[in-house]
């Protein structure tokens, strides 16, 4: 695809998913001169605001996906909960799809994902499949309490997970997760959660990014700190694990490998996402090559960019305030942007709701201490609320 740079017509990229990840991926692609079509069920999705074209249809609409492919030289996606079978069919018909849809199929299911990692001797928490109360009880006896029950497919931001603190909570946990394939996982008493963005090119080159230390509230990422405040040996080990994961799946594109760090310094893989990730947003301002440009480079057959960290960074998610539903309004913008090193990203979502990801702020500076202080002030100033209707 290298010969399609700066030619007319330009190389055409199709993105399944029009949310904020798709938007930032599209912005990187447009900056490099590519044509972008997005598929999303929401008209005027965030990505559609910057793309050349949107196909408005469900992610599982086979006809729409084929229409998307007809207008594309390469297909990628911004999240996992899509029809891998349709993408496999396109690939088998000769359509380049990155990351590989066979890899997507494995990663979409948390159980098959963990099985693949474990079989490759990549450290993960102990796990087992669960089909009903008896096996859930067996998991509690095997792993002790608390342990995690997880829906194997469809979960995100903590949805689809249940922390079971005692045998008496088993029945309610099973009911809350519904009638779906389940797995149990031992609870890891970690000291911190970290993630590594890692990319693989079409010729097999692999590059990882600096470690991000992630803080969650109610299972939603609130803050990422870079560099992560862990020993150099732990950071090196985590990057090596992420590169091993990328080698295992052997796919093209940018992946996120989320990990737990224990008090002994052990690194355990929690989850793998075959796409750019919220915890990698810091790369836009803080690294030579952003995760989104890297994705475009990888899927278009271009050399991977350098991943060096240029400056310490703190990324803060801007979530809809509790109790606020309706047309979105950002307050505190002027106050936050008067602070040094503050970079504001709004996703273009018209409606806010509690805990909905509406944007993020990345703060950069000369020292992490300085950056953390500024980030705290920016976070305090910025709120996403629902605009009051005129009476």
Query: Which residues are documented as binding site?
Result: 110, 150, 185-188, 193, 216, 270-271
Do 344 and 361 contact (CB within 8 A), yes or no? yes
| Sequential DSSP letters for 90-109 | HHHTT--BSS-HHHHHHHHS
Alpha-carbon distances of 317 from 94, 146, 250, rounded to whole Å: 39, 29, 31
The residue with tokens 């960019």 is: 305
Q: Is 391 helix (H, G, I), strand (E, B) or coil?
A: coil
Those residues whose C-beta lies under 8 Å from the C-beta of residue 99, and which sit 6 or more positions away, are: 76, 249, 251, 252, 253, 255, 274, 275
Estimate the crossing angle of helix 101-108 against helix 84-92, to 10 degrees: 160
Helices (H), the chain: 20-31, 62-70, 84-92, 101-108, 110-119, 133-143, 170-177, 232-249, 283-286, 291-299, 333-337, 368-381
Do 170 and 164 contact (CB within 8 A), yes or no? yes
Kindly calculate the radius of gyration of the chain based on its CA atoms and give it in whole angstroms. Answer: 21
Those residues whose C-beta lies under 8 Å from the C-beta of residue 322, and which sit 6 or more positions away, are: 354, 355
Q: Is 187 helix (H, G, I), strand (E, B) or coil?
A: coil
Q: By CB neighbour count within 10 A (0-12 exposed, 13-18 middle, 19+ buried), where does 338 fall?
A: exposed
The residue with tokens 């010729």 is: 203
Binding-site sequence positions for ATP: 110, 150, 185-188, 193, 216, 270-271
- Picking from 177, 171, 119, 125, the residue whose alpha carbon sits closest to that of residue 153 is 177
């Amino acid at each position: 695809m290298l010969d399609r740079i700066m030619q007319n017509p330009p190389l055409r990229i199709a993105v399944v998913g029009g949310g904020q990840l798709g938007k930032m991926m599209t912005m990187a692609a447009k900056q490099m001169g590519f044509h972008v079509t997005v598929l999303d069920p929401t008209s005027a999705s965030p990505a559609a605001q910057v793309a050349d074209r949107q196909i408005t249809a469900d992610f599982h609409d086979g006809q729409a996906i084929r229409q998307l492919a007809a207008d594309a030289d390469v297909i990628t996606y911004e999240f996992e909960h899509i029809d891998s079978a349709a993408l496999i069919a396109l690939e088998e018909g000769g359509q380049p799809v990155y990351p590989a849809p066979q890899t997507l199929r494995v990663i979409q299911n948390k159980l098959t994902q963990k099985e693949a990692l474990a079989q490759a001797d990549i450290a993960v928490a102990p796990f087992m499949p669960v089909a009903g109360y008896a096996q859930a009880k067996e998991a509690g006896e095997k792993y002790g309490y608390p342990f995690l029950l997880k829906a194997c497919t469809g979960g995100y931001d903590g949805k689809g997970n249940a922390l079971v603190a005692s045998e008496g909570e088993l029945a309610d946990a099973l009911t809350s997760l519904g009638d779906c394939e389940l797995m149990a996982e031992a609870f890891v008493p970690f000291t911190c959660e970290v993630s590594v963005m890692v990319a693989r090119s079409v010729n097999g080159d692999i590059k990882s990014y600096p470690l991000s230390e992630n803080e969650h509230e109610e299972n939603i990422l609130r803050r990422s700190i870079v560099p992560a405040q862990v020993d150099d040996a732990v950071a090196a080990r985590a990057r090596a694990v992420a590169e091993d994961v990328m080698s295992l799946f052997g796919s093209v594109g940018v992946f996120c490998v989320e990990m737990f760090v224990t008090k002994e310094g052990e690194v355990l893989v929690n989850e793998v996402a075959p796409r750019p990730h919220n915890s990698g947003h810091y790369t836009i301002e803080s690294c030579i090559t952003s995760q989104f440009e890297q994705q475009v480079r990888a899927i278009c057959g271009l050399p991977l960019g350098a991943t060096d960290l240029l400056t310490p960074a703190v990324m803060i998610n801007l979530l809809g305030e509790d109790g606020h539903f309706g047309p979105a309004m950002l307050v505190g913008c002027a106050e936050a942007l008067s602070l040094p090193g503050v970079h504001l990203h709004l996703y273009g979502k018209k409606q806010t709701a509690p805990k909905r990801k509406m944007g993020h702020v990345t703060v950069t500076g000369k020292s992490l201490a300085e950056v953390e202080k500024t980030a705290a002030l920016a976070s305090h100033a910025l709120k996403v609320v629902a605009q009051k209707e005129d009476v």
